[in-house]
Structure 1
Amino acid sequence: MPRCSLFSLQRLMVFSLPWLLLGCATAPVPTSTEPDTRRFETPEYLAQKALPIVNASSVYARGGTGQGVSVALIDSGLNHSLPEFYGRVADPGYDFVRQQQGTVDIKGHGTQMAGILAANKNDQGIHGIAFNAQLIPMRFGDDKEPFYFDSEIAQAWNLAYAKGARIFSNSWANPIEANTNEVSIYERLMGDSLEVAKNLVAAGSVFVFSTGNEVKREPLAEPGLPALVPELEKGWIAVMALKSDGTAINLKSNYCGLAARWCIAVPGGDGGAGLLTTNKDGSYGPTAGTSPAAALVSGALAALQSRFPEMTPQQVRERLLSTANRTGIYADSEAYGRGLMDLDAASRR
């Protein structure tokens, strides 16, 4: 017990009773308002190297795990029978190659992106950045590149929206460099899908695209589209890829270029040392480039949406972009757009 002089006791009498009960030499201990992120930084979390770089544990500690949010996976399909996706599929989606409900994933790309986005937190392998989000998979393109499948893309976007998706993950882009002077290119590539994109953005949706893997200073066609169609910008994000440790652009990624205002930087892996994710056979393996980077941002939007359910998806998009880290190398907007995604800053009230 602290020892008190008579003088100190007399002085204490002027204070209220609650202060007397604290004792003579004690003081209130301040409590931290910072969330406890450590309980989320498990081996499963650390195995997905991108998650610590973007401070994902901070949004989890504040309640943002993707719960109740559906994301459209517009890709090569999904092997939804894997344990990593138990409970993670809101709707079986549609296979525009086989023209039937549900999808297969022969190529495996879609399943890899789904792992980055929403694989289960189950102490196995890795977990997705939004491990409680729901996926709506759409398969298009017959697993071929380039992606000249305009009608299928338009139908996939419309159908996913009808099934509840407001975030659209597109880990692909047509291999033509964005150019504001080439209106005919977009008319040829997006005869149907451009009108759908306009309608869905006007209705509040957000589209995420990879900038492409050609090591160019400009993004590919779709991620740069708002430069030609300004009304899309409020619902558009382009994503460039950093090395796994976030220190520089990776070996593949295109710059943000003309998409700088709506572009963000996240880890996308380095060659053979890519980001760990789910393979179509249930194993785990690396994937690298702007594709996993786009899936990571799509999942981040879902995590933030569950953190801020009162916000619209487009308000969440603006928060994600406006809170990005623009210090050091990330101040170069031509390369890194709005900067390095920071889910600690984005998830603060």
Structure 2
Amino acid sequence: MTRLRTLAAVGAVVAATLLAAPPAAAAPGPSGAPEYYFDDWNLYDLWDAGARGQGVTIAEIDTGVNADLAELRGRVVRGTDLGRRGDGRVDREVSAFGHGTAMASIMVARPGLLGITGIAPDARILPIAVPLNGTTDAAKPDRLADAIRYGADHDAKVISMSLGGKRSEGSDTESCPDEEQAAVFHALSKGAVVLASVGNSGPKRNAIEEPGVCLGVVSVGAVDAAGDVADFSSRQPYLTLVAPGVRIPSLGRVAATAYSGDGTSQATAVASAVAALVWSRHPTLTARAIVTRLLATLDTRGVRGHSEEYGYGRLDARRAVTADVPADAANPVYDSATPFVRRAAALDHPASVRPPVPVTGAPGSGRAEVGSVSRVDREVVLGAVAAAVGLVALLVLAVLGRRRRTRPAAAPAAGPRPWPAPSATDWSD
């Protein structure tokens, strides 16, 4: 059976010299798509208070990371490539976008091109490249469970997965595959926080996606700068929280290129970086306590209890780092998983453990597709080639998919199409 995991972006290119970064006092990033959450969360003040992600390794399961980019140099440690020999420090995506590189830049990039700056610049990325459609290893099994275990066994405190696999009542007997659920339990037992995208099939289709549906995973949806849930963000009863995922700037895998994009993919990278900030400021806390702190400090305005649109609320990095949180604060993510984690440890055979999580929600088409880490029809490429080259046209990126087993992959949601380069002030979608 094939699982198609889509990683996608849409864009146009402008010269870096024509779109300068804002002054240091303002939110970093290009003037047309600033990193607004820096201002919303007073991130510079958090950095000054000692929360910069230091001492935290984030295992990023994705297409790999171009570790040679100046903005990422020294931030990416040796990982692994489960599609071929390698240490994960090469982005295997065929297109210039480079999904893994983009997500890494959201988390740890030092200021460079267009001022794009990572949320947790002193954290480290442990890149785990997995075979995906649209990469050089597209035909190979995806090995997601192996990737989760690798991150947990190599001292990652945070495991970030900006991906997901659509599940179908017609062909899937459980919402989270046995091997992936066992791997998540293993990661929890090793003391890691596990995050994954809820998916981009909102507001109506709302496909169930793993690993976001797996017990013990912090499932992340997307909101815009105003805090409103993004139209594309999947609505699900297992959604944990929402984070900024609209017009998020990131670097491309090709030097001197950058993108602004929408997706629960970007929201997951943001949330993973915030978890690193919290842990660097509170280094003695357990993984459970880190998640408890994230949940206890959510912005719950307009959200009563739990919402399929917002989960338990909107991520608030400032409060997550600075607030006083009771030791007995609620943590439904860990409460639901802990009995199974303990059982797996007692049996010492985690592969045999499967929690009773039935597939629910809107029925699928019978084709299980993995989903939606980046929104296809709204992403806009920001940036650029060297100044001497000037404006350069770029093709909109098609949906990239992740596949495994034998079922044919689904057709892409949108094929390549040209996108005119905007002027320095033209940022309409």
Asked if Structure 1 and Structure 2 have the same fold, meaning a TM-score greater than 0.5 normalized by the shorter chain, the answer is yes
Contact 1:219 1:258 in 2 (8 A): no
CA distance in 2, matches of 1:346, 1:289: 23
Paired residues, number: 290
Matches within 5 A, 1:155-194: 155-176=146-167, 184-186=173-175, 190-194=177-181
Read off the aligned partner of 1:267 and give its amino acid letter: P
Matching of residue 299 in structure 1 with residue 273 in structure 2: yes
Contact 1:95 1:102 in 2 (8 A): yes
Q: 1:161: Cα distance to partner? A: 2.1
Matched position secondary structure for 1:208: strand
Aligned-residue CA RMSD (Å): 2.9
**Which structure has the bigger radius of gyration?**
1
Matching of residue 44 in structure 1 with residue 18 in structure 2: no
CA distance in 1, matches of 2:210, 2:181: 9
Read off the aligned partner of 1:80 and give its amino acid letter: A
Q: 1:246: Cα distance to partner? A: 3.0
**Pair 157,329 (structure 1): closer, same or farther in 2 beyond 3 Å:** closer
Matching of residue 129 in structure 1 with residue 92 in structure 2: no
Partner of 1:139: 129
Q: Which residue, out of 190, 202, 218, partners 2:189?
A: 202
CA distance in 2, matches of 1:148, 1:268: 30
Matched position secondary structure for 2:28: helix
Q: 1:122: Cα distance to partner? A: 5.4
Q: Which residue, out of 239, 245, 249, partners 2:220?
A: 239
Q: 1:292: Cα distance to partner? A: 0.4
TM-score if structure 2 supplies the norm length?
A: 0.61
Matched position secondary structure for 2:59: strand
Q: 1:123: Cα distance to partner? A: 8.1
Q: 1:199: Cα distance to partner? A: 1.6
CA distance in 2, matches of 1:312, 1:193: 22
Matches within 5 A, 1:1-349: 41-44=25-28, 47-89=34-76, 91-107=77-93, 108-121=98-111, 125-144=115-134, 152-176=143-167, 184-186=173-175, 190-216=177-203, 218=206, 220-222=208-210, 224-226=212-214, 232-233=215-216, 236-243=217-224, 245-255=225-235, 257-260=236-239, 263-269=240-246, 274-282=247-255, 283-328=257-302, 333-348=307-322, 349=324
Taking only the aligned residue pairs, the percentage that are identical comes to: 27
Q: 1:330: Cα distance to partner? A: 7.8
**Pair 71,330 (structure 1): closer, same or farther in 2 beyond 3 Å:** farther
CA distance in 2, matches of 1:320, 1:331: 15
Over residues 57-88 of structure 1, what are the superposed CA-to-partner deviations in whole Å (9 max), with x where a residue is unaligned? Answer: 34323211101110001001100100111121
Over residues 87-118 of structure 1, what are the superposed CA-to-partner deviations in whole Å (9 max), with x where a residue is unaligned? Answer: 211x2211112233334214211011111111
**Pair 151,172 (structure 1): closer, same or farther in 2 beyond 3 Å:** closer
CA distance in 1, matches of 2:207, 2:49: 34
**Pair 224,133 (structure 1): closer, same or farther in 2 beyond 3 Å:** closer
**Pair 331,166 (structure 1): closer, same or farther in 2 beyond 3 Å:** same
Over residues 279-298 of structure 1, what are the superposed CA-to-partner deviations in whole Å (9 max), with x where a residue is unaligned? Answer: 11122211211000000000
Contact 1:172 1:291 in 2 (8 A): yes
Read off the aligned partner of 2:250 and give its amino acid letter: T
CA distance in 2, matches of 1:312, 1:93: 24
- Larger relative contact order (Cα-Cα within 8 Å, sequence gap ≥ 6): 2
CA distance in 2, matches of 1:123, 1:69: 25
Q: 1:144: Cα distance to partner? A: 4.7
Read off the aligned partner of 1:280 and give its amino acid letter: R
